[in-house]
Structure 1
Amino acid sequence: LEPQSLDEARGVFRRACEIHLAHKHTMHLQWATFEERHGDLTEARRVLEALETSVPGLAMVRLRRAGLERRAGRLDESEALLRDAVAQAKETPHLHAFYSIKLARLLLKLCKNPSKARGVLQEALEISPDDGKLHLNLLELEVSGDPRGSAEGVQQCVTRALAAPLSPQTKILFSQRGLQYAEDYGTSVHSVLTVYEEHQKLLKELGNKKRVAENGDSEDPEKMSKGEDGSAVPAPPQAPPTMPHVPMMTPPPPMMGGDMSAAHAGYGGYGSWHQQPQYGGYGGYQQAWNYNQGYYPPS
């Protein structure tokens, strides 16, 4: 009906949403889009507000409201809606982190206020220190700043991530990113070597933990072999694999993979770490670097 008569199409939406499908959120969202497309922002706002009142707690409705205000040029209203969502979601860590990232994007990319964006992410990390996506977004915020003043912030992000309850694989990739940044923008070779030594120490430490977990207790009864007299004899220990000094010679898996993939599925698509060419470095090592080239990949 829309091409023939806007009033008739509007009447269909109204009857459907107010009488027949009062709680079907997808129909209300279509109605709000219809009103916005035809310039009636007031009615679009009313439809979305009424939907959020009747069916509370839907993230897509709150994001649609924030998007409507952003497209209308009312960034302060968009920010207020997202801040309210962050405040209401404090008892639900994964939802709190989700809204915090959305708010930080708005503050950084459109409001041009990295200080506020940083504060939002840091506060979210106090609630969800094990959320790798929050660590990643904070790191990318620091990396996107002026290299002459961002080195300390980048290293603080890396240090925070290494101290957080993240997977060993993720910690290694954060450490790699810190070393990558030091090599690209470090002001002295001594600072780069310091970061490199810390990275090697981390690789060795995590490698030792992994070997211990894989080998287990050498005195495990199940690993005891039988001697000629029937007595239990410890099985000969196997030499652990040598930890290579050259780290990560093959491209690592995505930054947010492994044990965090399920938690991140609800956030939408985020960019993967793009492989960079191998090159010589300190001590003759070569490294395949993976990192996000922008602050926020397309979602």
Structure 2
Amino acid sequence: MIILTKYLCFFPNDFLCFAWVLLSTKKYQYNFSRSRSNSSRHRRPDGHQRGRSSRHGSDYVDSSLSRSSVASHFATPPIDVGDFENWVNILAKVDQSEDVEYAREKYKSFLQRYPNCYGFWQKYAEYEKKMGNIGEAKKVWEQGILSIPLSIDLWLGYLSDVKSIKTFPPESLREVYDKAIDIAGEEYQSDRLWLEAIGFERAIYIDQLCKQTGKADCRRIGVLFDRLLSTPTLHAQSHLERYVQYLNTVEPHLLLSDREYDDILRMTCKALGKSADELMHQVQLSYICQPTENGMLNIVAEPGEGTYPITVNSTQHDPTALQFMRTEIIARRNEIFLKNMEECKLRSAFELNIKRPYFHVKPLDYPQLVNWMAYLDFEIGQNNEKRVSVLFDRCLIPCALYEEFWIKYARWSWKITKSRTKTRDIYKKAKTHCPTSMNLALSEAGFEESMDNFDAALRILDSFRQEYPGYVLLELRYLGTLRRKWDNEKHPPATDYVVNQYESLIKDSQSSPNLHSFYSLKLARYQSKAKSNPSLAQKVLKKAMTIDPFNLQLYSQYVDVAYSSDSMTETDVIRAFDVALESNLRLEDRIRFSQRKLDYLEELGSNIHAIEDHRDYHYHLLGQLPDSVTIRTRFVNDPSRATLVQQAMPPQQAMVYTPQMQPPTMNMMPMMQMQPPMAFVNQAPPAVQLTLIEPTTSTM
């Protein structure tokens, strides 16, 4: 209740619904799609079942008792925390080992299982550096970046190592910075990366200035600042001040693009009433240069060992013009900055609720999962494909073990980008983190089938059911995909193969009556609809009744097959009802079937004698029902109970509506108690009075 109260302000409507479902349906929070059986067919060939967490049911549960809810939307990830902690202890000892091959084996094995642990990519790279393997360390950084492209720490560690290589050319290093900004610049905590890139460009500018190459300008710094000022980041509020500080140290023509500079210069000339030549003059500037470790030159304040002076020709603006131009530049950037701050404000509530942005095997608490899902929905609504993609990649670092987010990402990616390669890559990464997820297998197979790639879909399903046998829904999807494939290809024996597969499933599940009945229901429906053979469908159901004689669904389906089939006669329908009425079902269930049969005879029956005979039988059943039991059915009261003596009618009282607030309940609404017959004034009572307890809709 504390959690519900705390987060009620963020989700006032949907969260209330979830809250009550969570509290009132704890008993029924079981996801039918994750059930699997224990029959011989549903075990691994070696006879062992793979260990699973509590998120997967071990036994088949009747779908009528299983109700999915909001509370079961995020399941507990199937992870062994002890296994992770054991690996951490192993790697702590590996760092002290001199056996490089042994260390590599352990690091690779761990990172293959947990590729989102950026800290261990760093440790692995540092270990290789410590052992003198600079080239291997560089490869480790690159592998880590490929696994977690949004990790700012990995990018900065990689760039730091690359910059320490004296032979690494500055242009190549600039390409690495550009790639890092393009990939991870939209990450909310990417401020350090942006500032590192700006610092690198400043070092390039100073080096060119000291070498007097004639190419010295800092326009790339201006471009980076302009992009940063329009990107929502954690420290976005401080970047405009940094820009202003840097602007005050350089001449505008060195920082701005030619187009913007010419535009502002024209405005300045017009405002001051002077020409451009009057506002600029040439000067000579003196600096003290010093070589750095990577071979670039830097400007220092005081001369020292290895330093030397240089003189640089430069263009400077008139102080009044310079002040006017800088004011205009800042005003333009301020508009971009304010718009970006609005974007930051929209996302601030979501960002504040992210308590664990890094990966860990421990499950996330429910409010954080809800926050991530809501954040994704918000960003998708903004229709900025780049930001949505980055947010998904961010989300799938801490939420990597939750199949729901991978499925959402893959479906969004295919819908927006229509890129098969990217969507398949998402599913590939998802299976690394959630290898036991049946829902991922279903989603991936559905994606392939949607492109008529039936063979790939079947391979995915078959591979998963071989590795993790026992999922009922997976078996049904496999048969459904195969049926649709053959229907698409006009393959003649498709129906026969499907029937054989169903029969095999039924045969192998005889030790589990519920599962046997489940497959029997599916086969009966297939026989009735796909093969138009209701008689064979009823035969399947009747055989299942011998194994599971109290399964209400079997009898209901048996009646429905006869009721809905055009080839079945009235006699066939009546016989189907009689099978249920002659069974060992509960009295209440037989009364329901009896009522349905009576309705059928009244509406469609051709023999009045059959109607009257069954009416007597129905009375007989009702007479066996205890007075304390009420059921959802409609029946005729015993005529002897009709009141023949005139009763004084009580005075009518004004009805006052008093609302009563009651908590919602997932239980069935209680039935109205049967009322005594009304007394009739100034008229003869009817021979038989009908009392309607509750209209019945056929749900069996």
Deviation at 1:120, TM superposition (A): 1.2
Contact 1:69/1:75 (CA < 8 Å) preserved in 2? Answer: no
Aligned in 2, Cα 1:188/1:25: closer, same or farther, shift over 3 Å?
Answer: closer
Q: How does 1:1-299 map to 2 (within 5 A)?
A: 2=414, 3=417, 5-17=419-431, 19-72=432-485, 73=487, 74-146=494-566, 150-204=569-623, 206-207=624-625, 210=626, 244-245=637-638, 284=688, 286=690, 290-292=696-698
Any gaps of 5 or more consecutive residues in structure 1? 215-242, 247-260, 263-282
Contact 2:637/2:690 (CA < 8 Å) preserved in 1? Answer: no
Contact 1:86/1:100 (CA < 8 Å) preserved in 2? Answer: yes
Deviation at 1:124, TM superposition (A): 1.1
Deviation at 1:35, TM superposition (A): 1.1
How big is each residue's C-alpha offset from its partner over 1:246-266, in whole Å with a ceiling of 9 and x where there is no partner? 6xxxxxxxxxxxxxx99xxxx
Give the match's secondary structure for 2:569: helix
What is the identity, as a one-letter code, of the residue corresponding to 2:480?
Answer: G
Aligned in 2, Cα 1:20/1:287: closer, same or farther, shift over 3 Å?
Answer: same
Deviation at 1:93, TM superposition (A): 1.0
Aligned partners of 1:4 and 1:58: how far apart in 2? Answer: 30
Aligned partners of 2:603 and 2:419: how far apart in 1? Answer: 60
Contact 2:637/2:688 (CA < 8 Å) preserved in 1? Answer: no
Aligned in 2, Cα 1:138/1:193: closer, same or farther, shift over 3 Å?
Answer: same
Give the match's secondary structure for 1:173: helix
Higher mean C-alpha displacement, 20-29 vs 104-113: 20-29
Deviation at 1:186, TM superposition (A): 2.5
Deviation at 1:150, TM superposition (A): 2.8
Aligned partners of 2:696 and 2:566: how far apart in 1? Answer: 21
What is the identity, as a one-letter code, of the residue corresponding to 1:36?
Answer: E
How big is each residue's C-alpha offset from its partner over 1:68-99, in whole Å with a ceiling of 9 and x where there is no partner? 12333143443333332222221111111112
Any gaps of 5 or more consecutive residues in structure 2? 1-412, 488-493, 630-635, 640-665, 668-686
Aligned partners of 1:285 and 1:193: how far apart in 2? Answer: 17
Aligned partners of 1:190 and 1:287: how far apart in 2? Answer: 24
Contact 2:541/2:558 (CA < 8 Å) preserved in 1? Answer: yes
Match of 2:308 in 1: none
Deviation at 1:160, TM superposition (A): 2.5
Give the match's secondary structure for 1:112: coil
What is the identity, as a one-letter code, of the residue corresponding to 1:98?
Answer: F
How big is each residue's C-alpha offset from its partner over 1:221-248, in whole Å with a ceiling of 9 and x where there is no partner? xxxxxxxxxxxxxxxxxxxxxx9416xx
Deviation at 1:134, TM superposition (A): 0.8
Give the match's secondary structure for 2:576: helix
TM-score (ref. length: structure 1): 0.66
Aligned partners of 2:539 and 2:583: how far apart in 1? Answer: 18
Give the match's secondary structure for 1:290: coil
Aligned partners of 1:244 and 1:113: how far apart in 2? Answer: 40
Give the match's secondary structure for 1:183: helix
Give the match's secondary structure for 1:96: helix
Higher mean C-alpha displacement, 29-38 vs 284-293: 284-293
Aligned in 2, Cα 1:146/1:284: closer, same or farther, shift over 3 Å?
Answer: farther
Give the match's secondary structure for 1:32: helix
How big is each residue's C-alpha offset from its partner over 1:38-61, in whole Å with a ceiling of 9 and x where there is no partner? 221101001101111111110110
Aligned partners of 1:188 and 1:4: how far apart in 2? Answer: 62
Higher mean C-alpha displacement, 163-172 vs 128-137: 163-172
Aligned alpha-carbon RMSD (Å): 2.9
Deviation at 1:291, TM superposition (A): 4.4
* Number of positions where the alignment pairs a residue of Structure 1 with one of Structure 2: 226
Aligned in 2, Cα 1:75/1:190: closer, same or farther, shift over 3 Å?
Answer: same
TM-score (ref. length: structure 2): 0.30
Aligned partners of 1:48 and 1:10: how far apart in 2? Answer: 15
Q: Percent identity?
A: 27
Deviation at 1:177, TM superposition (A): 1.1
Aligned in 2, Cα 1:185/1:68: closer, same or farther, shift over 3 Å?
Answer: same
Match of 2:300 in 1: none
Deviation at 1:20, TM superposition (A): 4.1
Contact 1:66/1:79 (CA < 8 Å) preserved in 2? Answer: no
Deviation at 1:152, TM superposition (A): 2.8
